[in-house]
């Protein structure tokens, strides 16, 4: 019975909000005040009994509720609740793939090996049913990255409440994604090889191909070529520093090789993505000032002799080593991206401070993606992209959103899934009455 009471409460709440479901919210029309909540700033700090005010899409005040300041506008009672900056999902193909098994819905993997000119943004489906399920869990922004080839293409950063890709865009063409070759490769069972991994004899060859491509791209930029080479042209941002190069690598050698080659080639900003063995080369990463978008925690160990909880604690090992660390789940199914908060929560059981764990998803992800001027923390002057949860958002039991805002716009927390929930709950309620 308790369940249905809770259900009715949510129903009422949503009808009070009176928003048409899944319709992108209009611009913020009046100041909004959240008072009395615990504000998790996203930078490791927390303010109990906080006051948060935002207007025109920007946060105008964050501080203790004891502060004497004008509280005009819409009031949200925050007592007992928690406020967080919107969670940012790096390296995801949300909006590029709707249903894994249905090829027609798959736009994440283009043909070709060196295809940096392939741009994710224009294929991003702002109306994806999967994307809208991010919002009720507090995931409000994402970096949409293609997944094909060696150099997969160019990503863009979007917010998750938009009419189309154009107004979804937060940062267009922010980076290039390079999937570094592996020194070991999986056995080709169909060719009679053993399952499992064996040395990849083509590794050095693969590396040379990247090297050659980078050198050519650089030369192309330095020169005044007459013919346009779209792939070379697409790399120029990496050399100029306006775009970041995201290198996907897990092994020690691969990490060192990838970063060394990129730096040598003249790439200004490099980010390591994945980094299963990054904890073994932290000195190298520190020396090269390379941040890590480490893989999510809900993974199995890759090697039989690894600690059973290595994936659980991997981000913590990197943070403890003094690296700038963000968290992504690019290798998981897109729908799992809504669990980002829990991937961070897992770290708390490994001894990490809750606010630090949250920081991986907020300030750190924002910094690494280069959108920290506007997103990632609750700070005056920044975008009012945030959410209110009834309880601790890092734990599934208490991650229950009552409000979410993107750039001050109060977005719908309804989805295809909540609709079905209501519809069929209604069926049984009707039957029992």
Partner 1 sequence: MMKIRLTLLAFLGCTVLSYAQEYFPKNDGVKAENDNYTALSNAKIYVTPTEIINGGTLLFRKGKVVAVGKTVNLPENTVVIDASGKTIYPSFIDIFSGFGVALPEKVDSDGRSAEFDSAREGFYWNEHIMPENDAVTKFKYDDTIAKTLRDEGFGVVNSHIEDGIARGTGVLVALNGAGNDGDRIIDDRSAQYFSFKKSIANKQSYPTSLMGAMALLRQMYYDADWYAKDKIDTKDRSLEALNKNKNLIQIFDAEDKGNVVRADGIGDAFEIQYAILGGGDEYERVADIKATNAKLILPLNFPDAYDVSNPYAAGYVNLSDMRHWNQAPANPKILAENGISFSFTLHNLKSPADFRKKILEAIAYGLPKTKALEALTTVPSEILGKLAEIGTLRKGSYANFLITSGDIFEKETILYENWVQGAKNVINDRTLKDVRGEYNLSVSDQTFKLSIKGTLGSPKVEVKQDTAKLKSKFSYTDGWMALSFATKDGDENYRMTGLVDMDSTDLTGKAVLPDGSENVFKAVKTSEFSEEDEKNKDQKEKDDSDTPEMVTVKYPNVGYGYSAIPEPQDILFKNATVWTSEDAGILENTDVLVKDGKISKIGTDLRGGNAEVIDATGKHLTAGIIDEHSHIAALAINEAGQNSSAEVKMTDVIDPEDVGIYYALAGGVTSLQLLHGSANPIGGQSALMKLKWGESAENMLYDNAPKFIKFALGENVKQSNWESHSRFPQTRMGVEQTFTNYFQRAKEYEVKKKSGEPYRHDEEMETLVEILNGERFISCHSYVQSEINMMMKVAEKFGFRINTFTHILEGYKVADKMVEHGVGGGTFSDWWAYKFEVNDAIPYNAAIMHDQGVTVAINSDDAEMMRRLNQEAGKTVKYGGMTELEAWKMVTINPAKLLHLDERTGSIKEGKDADLVLWSDHPLSIYAKAEKTIIDGATYFDLEKDAQQRESIKKERNRLINMMLKEKADGETTQKPKQTKKEMMHCESGVEIAVGQ
Binding to partner 1 by CB under 8 A, coded x per residue (else -) over 5-34, reads: -xx---------------------------
Q: Give yes or no for residue 58 binding partner 1 (CB under 8 A).
A: no
Name the segment binding partner 1 (CB under 8 A); options: 49-57, 284-292, 301-309, 313-321: 301-309
Residues 357-396 that bind partner 1 (CB under 8 A): 394-396
| Neighbouring residues of 228: CB distance < 8 A, sequence distance ≥ 6 | none
- In the bound state with partner 1, the residue whose beta carbon lies nearer, of 54 and 342, is 342
Q: How far apart are CA 208 and CA 210, in angstroms?
A: 5
Contact between 280 and 252 under an 8 Å Cβ cutoff? The reply is yes
C-alpha of 32 from chain center: 26
Supply the minimum distance, in Å, between the C-beta of residue 428 and partner 1. 6
φ and ψ at 413, to 5 degrees?
-105, 10
User: With CB under 8 A as the contact rule, which of the stretches 20-28, 139-147, 173-181, 424-432 interacts with partner 1?
Assistant: 424-432
Q: Which is nearer to partner 1, 30 or 100 (CB)?
A: 100
Using CB under 8 A as the binding criterion, the count of chain residues that bind partner 1 stands at: 59
Q: Is 307 in the site for partner 1 (CB under 8 A)?
A: yes
Q: Which residues contact 212 (CB under 8 A, 6 or more apart)?
A: none
Name the one range near partner 1 by CB under 8 A: 52-60, 67-75, 207-215, 328-336: 328-336
Q: Cβ distance 322 to 315 under 8 Å?
A: no
Taking the C-alpha atoms of residue 363 and residue 141, their distance in angstroms, rounded to an integer, is: 13
The smaller minimum CB distance to partner 1, of residues 142 and 221, is found at 142
**Would you count residue 61 as binding partner 1 (CB under 8 A)?**
no
| Site residues (CB under 8 A) for partner 1, limited to 213-252 | 251-252
Say whether residue 424 binds partner 1 (CB under 8 A): yes
CB of 16 to partner 1, least distance (A): 18
Q: Does 100 engage in binding with partner 1 (CB under 8 A)?
A: yes
Within 13 Å of residue 354, how many CA atoms lie on the same side as its CB? 9
CB proximity list for 384: less than 8 A, separation 6 or greater: 28, 32, 54, 57, 58, 59, 405, 407, 408
Q: How many CA atoms, within 13 angstroms, populate the side-chain half-sphere of residue 417? A: 12
Binding to partner 1 in span 175-214, by CB under 8 A: 183-184, 190, 194-199
* Residue in 243, 295, 346, 362 binding partner 1, rule: CB under 8 A: 346
Q: Using an 8 Å Cβ cutoff, are 89 and 329 in contact?
A: yes
Q: Are 95 and 144 in contact (CB under 8 A)?
A: yes
Cα-Cα end-to-end distance for the chain? 14
What is the smallest separation between the CB atom of 106 and partner 1, expressed in angstroms? 12
Question: Where on the chain is the footprint of partner 1 (CB under 8 A)?
Answer: 2-4, 6-7, 98-102, 129-130, 183-184, 190, 194-199, 251-253, 298-301, 303-305, 307-309, 333-335, 338-339, 342, 345-346, 348-349, 394-400, 417-418, 420-421, 424-425, 428, 431
């Amino acid at each position: 019975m308790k369940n249905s009471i809770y259900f009715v409460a949510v129903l009422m709440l949503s009808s009070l909000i009176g928003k048409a479901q899944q319709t992108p919210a209009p611009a913020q029309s009046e100041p909004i005040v959240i008072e009395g909540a615990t504000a998790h700033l996203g930078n490791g700090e927390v303010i109990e009994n906080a006051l948060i005010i935002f207007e025109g899409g920007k946060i105008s005040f964050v501080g203790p509720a004891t502060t004497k300041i004008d509280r005009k506008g819409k009031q949200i009672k925050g007592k007992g609740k928690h406020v967080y900056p919107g969670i940012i999902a790096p390296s995801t193909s949300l909006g590029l793939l709707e249903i894994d098994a249905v090829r027609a819905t798959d736009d994440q993997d283009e043909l070709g090996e060196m295809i940096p000119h392939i741009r994710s943004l224009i294929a991003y489906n702002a109306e994806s049913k999967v994307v809208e399920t991010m919002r009720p869990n507090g995931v409000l922004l994402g970096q949409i990255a293609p997944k094909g080839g060696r150099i997969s293409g160019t990503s863009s950063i979007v917010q998750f409440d938009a009419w189309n890709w154009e107004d979804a865009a937060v940062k267009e063409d922010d980076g290039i994604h390079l999937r570094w070759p592996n020194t070991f490769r999986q056995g080709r069972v169909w060719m009679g090889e053993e399952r499992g991994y064996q040395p990849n004899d083509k590794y050095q060859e693969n590396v040379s191909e990247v090297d050659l491509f980078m050198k050519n791209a650089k030369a192309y930029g330095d020169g005044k070529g007459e013919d346009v080479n779209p792939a070379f042209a697409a790399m120029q941002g990496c050399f100029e520093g306006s775009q970041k190069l995201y290198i996907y690598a897990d092994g020690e050698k691969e990490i060192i090789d990838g970063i060394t080659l990129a730096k040598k080639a003249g790439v200004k900003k490099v980010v390591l993505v994945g980094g299963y063995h990054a904890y073994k080369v932290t000195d190298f990463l520190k020396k090269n000032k390379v941040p890590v978008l480490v893989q999510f925690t809900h993974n199995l160990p890759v090697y039989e002799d690894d600690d059973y909880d290595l994936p659980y604690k991997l981000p913590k090992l990197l943070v403890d080593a003094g690296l700038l660390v963000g968290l992504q789940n690019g290798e998981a199914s897109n729908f799992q991206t809504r669990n980002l908060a829990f991937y961070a929560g897992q770290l708390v059981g490994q001894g990490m401070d809750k606010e630090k764990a949250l920081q991986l998803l907020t300030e750190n992800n924002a910094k690494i993606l280069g959108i920290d001027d506007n997103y990632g923390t609750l700070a005056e002057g920044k975008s009012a992209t945030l959410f209110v949860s009834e309880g601790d958002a890092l734990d599934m039991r208490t991650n229950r959103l009552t409000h979410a805002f993107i750039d001050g716009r109060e977005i719908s927390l309804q989805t295809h899934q909540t609709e079905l929930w209501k519809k069929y709950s209604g069926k049984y309620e009707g039957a029992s009455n």
